[in-house]
Structure 1
C-alpha cells in the first residue's frame, strides 16, 4: 500500500491503492476506496514536454459522456491533480480481461483462454468491430491498434479497449493526434512519418484491424511473415502478403513460413480469406479498397454460422487442411 493522494478538481482528496501498471507514459494505480476505478498519473517528463496538450485532450475526452458510460472503453472520466493543484492525470474505470496477445499465441491461448474455440474468437472480433464502429461514427480513430491494448474476456466473449488517451480525437478547434504506434501494425502511407503529426483515418484503422484479426485467427502469426524476403515490416511495405492463390510455391522465397499456417488458412471461409486478401494485398497501396467494418461484420457473422453448422471447423488448430474447393483462395 502506498500513501499517494490525488485530488479532484473540487480539491476532494482521493487515496491511491496498489500500483497495477507502469509504462513509458506513467503509472496506474487503483483507487483505495474502490479498486474498480484506476488513476493514471503521467510521468514528470511527459508532463514537462506535453502536459498542456495532454490536459487539453483529456479534458475534451471527459466531456464525452456516452463514451465514459460505455463499459467496454477505459475512457478518461475525471481529471486529477496533485496537492499543489497541478494537473497530473485522470481516473477511469478498470477493464476486465486478458490482452489479446495471449489469445493470439500458439501456446498461451490454452492457459489464458481455456476452452475457447474459433467461434469464441469470432464473437470477440465481432464485438471489437462494434466498438470501433461506434468510435468511427464519432470521428475518433484509434491509431495504435495492437494486441496489447485490447483485453478479451473468455467468459462473455467481449473485449475492452484500454489506453484510450492515445486515440485521435477532435475538439471544436483542433485535432489531437495519436502519437504512438507500431510499424508492424501501421499502414504503409504512415511509415517513415512522425506519429505525432499524422492524421489517422478510418482506412488506416481498417488496415491495422485486419492485421490484428488475422493474428487472432492465426495463432499470432503476422500476415507478412514469410520465407525469405525480409521481416514483416519490410514485407508489409512491399505488399508481400503470401496467402491465397498465386503465391510462391511451398518452401520457396515469399511462401508461407514453416508451421500450421496453410492448414489454418484453408479452414477460413472463402469470404474471410477474400477480405484479408483485399485489405492486406491490394489495400496496401490503395486505402479505398480496404474492407469496411460492415463487410467484416457480415462476413464474420456468416463464418460463425458456418462453424455452428459444421461446414467449417471451430478448432483453433486443425490437424489437416480443409478439402479444397474450386473457388477457394
Structure 2
C-alpha cells in the first residue's frame, strides 16, 4: 500500500509513506507528509471478520484521548481513516521511537542495541514503564497482551513507548460495555485466565500486575522466563503449577527443578533483597493468590531503593556480573 492514498475523518486525502511495521492485526505506515504520524491499516481478513467491532472499539479509545493524547509515550488511536470507497480501515496515531524490549532482554543483543546501558538504566526503563502503565490503570484501561515486543525503549533517555494499544481492554463509560484484549501469550498470562479464549477474558488490575512481573523479570534477567527450570517442563506448564525456582527452599541451580545452568543465578544474586521478595511474592505465592501480587506502588518503591543502592556502590550495576554476590551484612544471603 506504499504511496497509496487513504482518507481522514474529513475525507481529505493523505498519502502513505514507507511501511514501518507489520503484525497479525495489520500493517503500519508512516504518513508521507508528516513522518511523526503513522497509520495502522488492519488486514483485510480482520476487517471482513470484525470491521464493526474493531471500529467501535477504536472509536471508544479515541473518546478517552484527553490525557493520553498529551503523553508522547502511548501510541493511542487518534483519528479514524478510510479507503477510497469510504470504508473504515484503521486509524492514525503518533509515531513511537525506541528499540523493542526484546532486544534489551537478551544475553547478547543488549550489547548491540543498548551499548551504554547498565543495570541502573534497566531500572530507569522499568520505572518509566510502571508510571505509564499506572496512568492507564487509573482509567480502567488494562494492557492484556503484555510482552517484550509491545514496548519500545529509547537507548539514550531510557523512556518507554507503548505500542499496539488498540488491543488494550477499554470500557465504554456511557454504556459500561467492555472491549476485551483479543490477543495474548499463555506464558505471559496469569493462571486464572488459562483455558479461556483471549477475546473472552475480562482482564483486571491483578492480571496486568502478574504479566508485568514476568516482563520485568525478563528485563532484569537477560531474557530468561521466570518459569524456566531444569527438567521441569515448559514455562507455561511451570506457570500453571506455580513452579518458580527462585527463593529459599528451591533446588540448587543446574539441578533437576532448579534454575537453568548459565549466568542466571549470578544475575539473580545481585538483585536487591526487596526486588527478589516482590518477584517471589508475585510469581510464586501470587500464582493462585492474587492478593500477593505486588502493586505498581510497591515495585516503584523497591526499584527506587535498588537504583540508589547501585548508584551508591552498595550493589553492582553491571548488567551481567561475572561472579555471584556474597552479602556482607547477611541480609542478602546467597539462597536458591
TM-score, L = length of structure 1: 0.98
Query: Which whole-Å deviations, capped at 9, do the CAs of 1:120-151 have from their partners, x for residues lacking one?
Result: 00000000000000000000000000000000
CA distance in 2, matches of 1:303, 1:309: 10
Partner of 1:236 in structure 2? 239
Matching residue of 1:110: 111
Asked if structure 1 preserves the Cα contact closer than 8 Å seen for 2:3 and 2:18, the reply is no
TM-superposed deviation, 1:188: 0.5
Unaligned runs of 5+ in 1: none
Question: Is 1:8 the equivalent of 2:8?
Answer: yes
CA distance in structure 2 between the partners assigned to 1:70 and 1:140 by the alignment: 15
Q: Distance in 2 between matches of 1:184 and 1:15?
A: 40
Cα separation, 2, equivalents of 1:300 and 1:9: 43
Instruction: Tell me the residue number matched to 2:35.
Output: 35
Query: Which stretch shifts more, 63-72 or 25-34?
Result: 63-72
Measure the CA separation in 2 of the matches of 1:301 and 1:60: 35
Measure, in 2, the Cα distance between the counterparts of 1:2 and 1:97.
Answer: 23
- List alignment gaps of at least 5 residues for structure 2: none
2:70 is matched with which residue?
Answer: 69
User: 1:267·1:312 contact (CA, 8 Å) conserved in 2?
Assistant: yes
**Matching residue of 2:223:** 220
What's the offset of the Cα at 1:283?
A: 0.3
Equivalent residue in structure 1 for 2:181, among 178, 182, 202 = 178
**Structure 2 length as normaliser, TM-score?**
0.96
Query: Secondary structure in 2 aligned to 1:294?
Result: helix
Structure 1 residue 244 displacement after superposition: 1.1
Aligned-pair CA distance for 1:327: 3.5
Instruction: Quote the residue 1:326 is aligned against.
Output: 330
3-state SS, counterpart of residue 271 of structure 1: helix
**Counterpart for residue 119 of structure 1:** 120
Q: Structure 1 residue 11: deviation in Å?
A: 1.0
**Larger deviation: 17-26 or 119-128?**
17-26
Asked if residue 309 in structure 1 is aligned to residue 307 in structure 2, the reply is no
C-alpha distance in 2, partners of 1:120/1:251? Answer: 29
User: What is the match of residue 272 of structure 2?
Assistant: 269
* CA–CA separation in structure 2 for the residues paired with 1:162 and 1:318: 32
Residues 58-97 of structure 1 mapped to structure 2, 5 A cutoff:
58-63=58-63, 64-97=65-98
Deviation at 1:160, TM superposition (A): 0.3
- CA distance in 2: counterparts of 1:143 and 1:198, whole angstroms: 9
Instruction: Show the 5 A alignment for 1:19-30.
Output: 19-30=19-30
Deviation of 1:224 (Å): 0.6
- Mapping 1:137-176, distance limit 5 Å: 137-171=138-172, 172-173=174-175, 174-176=177-179
Q: Deviations over 1:221-250 (max 9, x none)?
A: 110111011011110110000011110133
Aligned length: 329
* Alignment match, 1:196: 199
Provide the rounded CA distance (Å) in 1 between the counterparts of 2:47 and 2:232. Answer: 42
Determine whether 1:100 maps to 2:101. Answer: yes
Does the 8 A contact of 1:62 with 1:68 survive in 2?
A: no
* Dislocated runs of 4+, deviation >4 Å: none
Q: Please report how far the alpha carbon of residue 180 of structure 1 lies from its aligned counterpart in structure 2 after TM superposition.
A: 0.4
Q: What SS does structure 2 have at the residue aligned with 1:196?
A: helix
Quick one: which of 289, 294, 299 aligns to 1:296?
A: 299
Note if contact 2:61-2:77 (Cα within 8 Å) is conserved in structure 1.
yes
Tell me, what secondary structure is at the counterpart of 2:197? coil
Checking the alignment, whether the CA contact within 8 Å between 1:152 and 1:160 is kept in structure 2 is yes
CA RMSD of aligned residues (A): 1.1
